[in-house]
Amino acid sequence: MQDDPLPSWQDTATRAAIVAFVEAAAGDGAGHVAPQERVAVFDNDGTLWCEKPIPIQLDFVLRRFAAMAQDNPALRGRQPWKAAREHDGAWLSGALVKHYDGDDADLRLLLGGVLEAFGEMTVDAYAEEVAAFLATASHPSLKRPYRACAFRPMVELLRYLEGHGFATYIASGGDRDFMRPAAEALYAIPRERVIGSSFALRYDAPTGSGGAGGAVVYKRGLDFLDDGPEKPVRIWSRVGRRPLVAVGNSNGDVPMLEFAGGAELPALRLVLRHDDAEREFAYDDGAEQVLARVARGAQDGWHAISMRDDWADVFGDAPGPS
Amino acid sequence: MQDDPLPSWQDTATRAAIVAFVEAAAGDGAGHVAPQERVAVFDNDGTLWCEKPIPIQLDFVLRRFAAMAQDNPALRGRQPWKAAREHDGAWLSGALVKHYDGDDADLRLLLGGVLEAFGEMTVDAYAEEVAAFLATASHPSLKRPYRACAFRPMVELLRYLEGHGFATYIASGGDRDFMRPAAEALYAIPRERVIGSSFALRYDAPTGSGGAGGAVVYKRGLDFLDDGPEKPVRIWSRVGRRPLVAVGNSNGDVPMLEFAGGAELPALRLVLRHDDAEREFAYDDGAEQVLARVARGAQDGWHAISMRDDWADVFGDAPGPS
């Protein structure tokens, strides 16, 4: 067992399916796939790290809103600053749940607040704020730093895939520039392999006489939301290929999971099921469609990962095999 | 000389400046730059391959327009099909020159024709058409296949940078999905490292019962034109860093060249000057501003590359050193 590349995984049929696919793709026999086609894409929130009770980026944003409302009383009666100041989790989580039901009104209010909070900031200053947040902030109920909220089995899977010649990418609805510092620190995925939603950006030419410098700055607008059918579009735009392996956990991941493989390529489509109230959380909300799809069976490479049954360890706290 | 990594370059001050910068960045002493910061971006048309008398992609598009007008007489009196059918180079090159002067009217007509030609095509079908074109089409006056129109010294420079730990990217106003097959074949740059303009895309879910598949399809619209101040924005979006080395040839490259380096990083900014009517072309049109900038001198890392004086070979035809 000491050479086991997936020590946090139980010896289950799910693990066996993953290993069989990856070994075949990297092998010389049936199922071989050329190295350049070995692309794996991972959703982030709820797939690589914990997304409950609220997505980690939302906590980052709410702290910023609360600080803004502290400085500016006129914001205190307006959403989303009101909810942030009053710790109104119901309004906030409702905005996300309603989005998955097709009602984006509250999500747009929330986004409007985000644009107000970060518009006109340089990308460099934003990256520093994110890094400072990740260095200090903790999960409210798991009582662990956010930087320790990555799922250990998924990090092992990333390394296992890379060890078999796969290029690994994050393809998430989260904000690309928020995820980049986290991806480097928690998953060792470099920033050029992070695909996500993006605020609109502009380039400000240098003002000095040197003729060198200039800055990229967030405009007060969204460029695109990388979720649902936008995920295959953004994966293609960035990678120029279909993924061979796609890993997600929510309804917004269905198109990305479908898009994997192709006429001449196999696919491994993994859906993480949050069914572990003891070690993490148990919930299906926002995942009804993708869970229904994966429940139809393993044809076309669809597999559920049960956090409860397939993972020996969730966050890397359990004593390892001796 | 047999170990010379840049055999197509003359032994000039330009070459010396490039070598000094790259060796310092990769070395342990002054000028060292961490490997992850070693990013090099190259414009494509006129920088990595020939762009005269018309950009190579324009030839691809014009052949498509001519075929469309052949099939559909109603198109023959309309631009851009009229110009394509009548080989009206003045109208076509005028559209590009006027764009650089701030007048986009004819360029928009041209783009409208492009969207008409390729809208609703899948990305896979488009890639096949491009590959077929590159396999057969030839340059009209240089009398060589387009696939032999890459500048050999630039390909050597790409390999030289990569050999010193640089990640090389194309960052061009050209259409990303047109450049990808060319970049692989001519420069050995993989498709995930090609940054360029993009048509708008959508994802079409699979129609069969399998629940796997789906396609990415061009919409009849432009997503963005990756030129001028958009270049730093797109480089940041894709790479998440400023480049350390930027190489271009036209006014649209000025912001990208400025953006290189930073407060704590040096920069190498190279501008290819087309001054070689004998072996390629001699022209400054569309490059007036960038040439004026580089003429101010080598402070801040700006250097001109003279095709005539700095390159021993242009297309790789000259006998190599024995």
Q: Can you tell me the ipTM of this complex?
A: 0.93
Residues 6+ apart with CB under 8 A from B205: A229, A255, A258, B214
Measuring CA to CA, how many Å separate A215 from each of A24, A72, B235, B293? Answer: 46, 28, 12, 19
Mean of pLDDT values over A87-103: 84
User: Mean pLDDT per 10-residue run, chain B (322 residues)?
Assistant: 86 97 97 97 98 92 94 95 90 82 89 92 95 95 95 98 98 96 96 96 82 85 90 97 97 95 91 98 95 85 97 86 44
The 3-state DSSP class for residue A214 equals coil
Task: Compare all CA atoms of chain B with the CA of A292 and give the residue at the minimum distance.
Answer: B211
Q: How far apart are CA B188 and CA B191, in angstroms?
A: 9
pLDDT, tens digit (0-9, with 9 covering 90-100), for B33-46:
999 999 999 999 99
Q: Give how far B2 is from chain A: nearest CA, Å.
A: 31
Q: Give how far A176 is from chain B: nearest CA, Å.
A: 8
Judge whether A199 and A205 are in contact, CB under 8 Å: no
Helices A123-136 and A56-71 cross at an angle (nearest 10°) of 110
pLDDT of amino acid B77: 94
Residues 6+ apart with CB under 8 A from A279: A307, A308, A314, A315
pLDDT, tens digit (0-9, with 9 covering 90-100), for A177-218:
999 999 999 999 999 999 999 999 999 998 865 556 799 999
Domains, chain B, in order of start with CATH, read 13-52+148-310 (3.40.50.1000), 56-136 (no CATH)
Beta bridge pairs of residue B222 = B199
Task: Compare all CA atoms of chain B with the CA of A175 and give the residue at the minimum distance.
Answer: B237
Of A86-90, A307-311, B285-289, the range with the lowest mean pLDDT is A86-90
pLDDT of amino acid A322: 41
Is it the case that residue A96 has pLDDT exceeding 90?
no
Neighbours of B205 (CB within 10 A): 14
Q: How far apart are CA B200 and CA B11, in angstroms?
A: 45
Which range scores top for mean pLDDT: A97-101, A299-303, B204-208?
Answer: A299-303
Is there a contact between B191 and A233 if contact means CB atoms under 8 Å apart? no
CA torsion B30-B33-B34-B35 (nearest 10°) is -120
pLDDT of amino acid A1: 47
Q: How far apart are CA B308 and CA B151, in angstroms?
A: 13
pLDDT of amino acid A318: 73
Q: Does B252 touch chain A (CB under 8 A)?
A: no
Judge whether B192 and A238 are in contact, CB under 8 Å: yes
Tell me what the pLDDT averaged over chain A comes to: 93
pLDDT of amino acid B208: 67
Q: Which residue in this structure is represented by tokens 């990769």?
A: B26
Strands, E assignment, A123-262: 167-175, 194-204, 215-224, 245-248
Q: What radius of gyration, in Å, describes the C-alpha atoms of chain B? A: 20
pLDDT, tens digit (0-9, with 9 covering 90-100), for A252-287:
999 999 999 987 899 999 999 999 999 999 999 999
Contacts B203 to A, Cβ<8 Å:
229-233, 255, 259
Closest CA to B37 of B25, B28, B54, B46: B25
Is it the case that residue A26 has pLDDT exceeding 50?
yes
Both tokens of A309, joined, read: 């049954």
Q: Does B229 touch chain A (CB under 8 A)?
A: yes
Q: Give how far B231 is from chain A: nearest CA, Å.
A: 8
Q: What percent of chain A has pLDDT over 70?
A: 96
Both tokens of A139, joined, read: 């999960």
CA torsion A213-A218-A220-A222 (nearest 10°) is 140
One-letter identity of residue A206: P
Q: How far apart are CA A21 and CA A13, in angstroms?
A: 12
